[in-house]
């Protein structure tokens, strides 16, 4: 396994762990103790307000935990900015960029500037095919 300049594993199929992670929005408090195995597809389900988006935002780095650790590939990424994490996120319908195609919206996960290489285009097509 190789690591980038932030010490984050630079390989595909990394496990994700939220170890004693707590977070709160005003009066809504959440605690996450969960491990997602590498290479597995996992569905996160629950009613509105149950913390699904919060969990994803913590993994992606759009939110920071009040306590606990977010681990990707066994590396604590709490101090890594979203751009340094090996995570891509496609937002719900109302958060898509309407001026971009489906491929363009997915491609943002590979390159925020949309300067996609041939490998990026293949990865986007493969993801959409799945």
Q: Give per-residue pLDDT as tens, 14-63.
A: 899 999 999 998 888 999 999 999 988 888 899 988 999 899 999 999 99
Residue 123 lies in a domain: yes
Nearest to 68 by CA among 81, 60, 77: 77
Gap between the Cα atoms of 49 and 105, Å rounded = 25
How many domains does the chain fold into? 2
pTM of the complete model beyond 0.75: no
Q: Are residues 76 and 100 in the same domain?
A: no
- Integer CA distances (angstroms), 88 to 55, 60, 78, 83, 99, in order: 14, 7, 16, 9, 20
Residue 4 lies in a domain: no
Q: Give per-residue pLDDT as tens, 10-22.
A: 456 889 999 999 9
Residue 10 lies in a domain: no
Q: Are residues 33 and 53 in the same domain?
A: yes
- The residue segments making up the domain with residue 119 are 93-129
- Integer CA distances (angstroms), 105 to 36, 87, 102, in order: 25, 15, 5
The answer to whether 19 and 33 have CB atoms below 8 angstroms apart is yes
């Amino acid at each position: 396994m190789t690591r980038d300049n932030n010490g984050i594993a630079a390989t595909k199929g990394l496990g994700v762990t939220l170890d004693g992670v707590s977070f709160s929005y005003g009066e809504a408090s959440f605690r996450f103790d969960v491990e997602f195995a590498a290479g597995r597809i996992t569905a996160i389900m629950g009613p509105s307000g149950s913390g699904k988006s919060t969990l994803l935002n913590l993994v992606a780095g759009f939110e920071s935990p009040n306590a606990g650790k977010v681990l990707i590939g066994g590396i604590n990424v709490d101090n890594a900015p979203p751009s340094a994490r090996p995570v891509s996120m496609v937002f719900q319908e109302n958060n898509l960029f309407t001026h971009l195609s489906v491929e363009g919206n997915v491609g943002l996960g590979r390159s925020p500037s949309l300067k996609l290489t041939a490998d990026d285009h293949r990865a986007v097509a493969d993801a959409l095919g799945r």
